[in-house]
A and B are shown apart, each in its own frame.
Chain A
Amino acid sequence: MKTVVTALVVVLLAASAMALGLGDGIPMGDVKMKNVDGNEVSIAAVKGAKGTLVVFTCNHCPYARAWEGRLAELGNTFQTRGIGVILINSNDAAEYEEDSFENMQVRAAKLGLKVPYVVDATSDVARAFGAGKTPEIYLFDAAGKLVYQGTVDDNAEKPEAVTKTYLRDALTAVVAGQVPEVQQTKALGCSIKFRSKA
């Protein structure tokens, strides 16, 4: 067991270089990803004057689906307030047909998305962020530093029962040039189905 524990510590230390922390910049910002409108879009290209919202999400996950309407509303709204917004699907569509590009187009249209919903074709953008599940949210300030990481609110299942609007509050703070009061939150979600490395 000691060997297993030692291995765990070693791997955790190695992995510590992978996960994004508060204050970190945007990794792989220049990587172009295919948007549902057919154009190639990078995080850098959508970067907003007041901040940038990066959301790892997908079509098939019940938690992502529970929050998708709220995320669409927040993205569409805050995009008009100086926040660049991009939704990224890093799942291997070979494993989940629901996460195919065509189904992403259907989902984006159904939600009335006015922000890019793109394919992370290698899953490397998710790896660079250290994102492990969907939905997982990263909000950067005007200087491109991570100021909020976590979830949308405190109740995926029942929107009417939400008492903590974490993401809305963080976005409002960033638009005002302030640091969000709550900077890290957690919620359950579906593990990202990473594409295999060649």
Chain B
Amino acid sequence: MRSARPFAAVLVLAALVLAGCGKIDREPPVSTAPVAAAPELTPVAAEQLRDVLAARRGKVVLVNVWATWCPPCREEFPDLLRAYHELQPRGLDLVLISADFEAQREKARAFLTGLGVGFPTFLKTGPDGMFIEALDPGWSGSIPATLVLGRDGTKRAFWDGAASYEEFRNAVEPWL
């Protein structure tokens, strides 16, 4: 009767475990250079998520669910952005979805601004259960969570728990 759980995916890569369970309270480096404010986060519920992802067909898509209150999320963010910026010219797209509550919207935006995120991102709304099912039915709901879609929109990888730069690259490069 025991069933596989998505969080087990954290065990796939030892570094994921280390990143998820290590000392993770520190904030990522924030540039002191003046940067433009990140765009307003667009609300996205399960129904819109499908459209958001469908609109990116033809590209490899990295979807990351994060929150300002989630230390492993903050920890992996610089690595996630580095991998994205390096692979974007080869056809990688990045969909960032904050799981912060509405009251933390501006905090999330400030965090993104601090990391120089200038492209549109999203704020999860609506029932959690439906959102989880829409992203990946095997997901427990633990964040950070990352989904990789191929150019045809099919799932290529999914895991919850933090990842390193190398792991983000390794997860998407075969599909570019």
Complexed CA–CA distance, A189 and B9 (Å)? 16
State the majority secondary structure of interface residues on A.
loop
Interface size on B, residues (CB 8 A): 40
Residues of chain B contacted by A92 (CB below 8 angstroms): 21
State the majority secondary structure of interface residues on B.
mixed
Contact between chains at A191 and B160 (CB < 8 Å)? yes
Least CB distance, A150 to chain B, in whole angstroms:
8
Residues of chain B contacted by A20 (CB below 8 angstroms): 2
* Residue of B4, B102, B132, B142 touching A16 (CB-CB under 8 A): B4
Contact between chains at A18 and B129 (CB < 8 Å)? no
A154 within 8 A of B: yes
Residues of chain A contacted by B69 (CB below 8 angstroms): 61-62, 190
Least CB distance, A69 to chain B, in whole angstroms:
15
A156 within 8 A of B: yes
Least CB distance, A88 to chain B, in whole angstroms:
17
B3 within 8 A of A: yes
Tell me the A residues contacting B by CB distance below 8 Å: 1, 4, 7-8, 11-24, 61-62, 66, 92, 95-96, 130, 132-133, 151, 154-157, 164, 185-191, 193-194, 196
The 7 tightest CB contacts between A and B, nearest first, are A15-B8, A132-B7, A21-B1, A19-B5, A133-B142, A187-B128, A16-B4
Q: Can you pick out 15 interface pairs between chain A and chain B where the beta carbons lie within 8 Å of each other?
A: A4-B170, A7-B12, A18-B8, A19-B5, A62-B67, A62-B69, A95-B25, A96-B25, A132-B5, A132-B6, A133-B141, A157-B102, A188-B124, A188-B131, A191-B7
